[in-house]
A = this chain, B = another copy of it.
Amino acid sequence: MTSRAVRMTHSSEIPEEISGLRMTRQRQEIYRILIENRDHPTANEVFMLAKDALPNLSLATVYNCLEALVQHGIIRQVNFERESSRYCANLREHGHFHDAATGEIHDVDFKPGTDFSKFLNLPPGAVVEDIEITLRGKISTN
């Protein structure tokens, strides 16, 4: 009873393979870190978090793994301004709110059934494949 996309291993919660991508120890660990760590870490932050499980991991490998996971639609890459890329295991369609005061990034879900392109004057013939919504502001605590 192996599902089409995912094959489970006996020893771990993370499958051996996800949507055609072989889940090596490095990829598993990096994916696990992103699942447990929802604050949109950078490649370097992932690298540091992974180091104690995989002491001789290299940063290049972190980049390779993140790239592979992104390419296979397993995680998302998030860019804000010209800062380092951040990575995110939340695959729901969502935007990001950047708290200018703390630097924190919060996921922002779209209210169900919202079609943003309805509110935009798109160029004629435009077919939208992807929409990215990023908000900047602060969180007032009063």
Interface set of A (CB-CB < 8 Å, partner B): 79, 81-82, 85, 95, 97, 99-100, 106, 108-111, 114, 116-141
Contact = CB atoms under 8 A, between A and B. Distances in A.
A122 B140 CA distance: 12
A131 B119 CA distance: 14
A100 B116 CA distance: 19
A108 B122 CA distance: 6
A128 to B, nearest CB: 4
Contacts of A99: 126
Contacts of A136: 128-132
3 closest A-B pairs by beta carbon, nearest first, are A114-B119, A129-B137, A130-B136
Copies of this protein, total: 2
Contacts of A137: 126-130
Contacts of A129: 100, 136-138
Contacts of A120: 95, 108-111, 133, 135
Contacts of A79: 79, 81-82
A108 B40 CA distance: 28
Given A97-B123, A125-B139, A129-B136, 20 more contacts: A79-B79, A79-B81, A97-B128, A106-B126, A108-B123, A109-B120, A109-B121, A110-B120, A111-B118, A111-B120, A120-B135, A123-B139, A126-B135, A126-B137, A129-B138, A130-B135, A131-B135, A132-B132, A132-B134, A132-B135
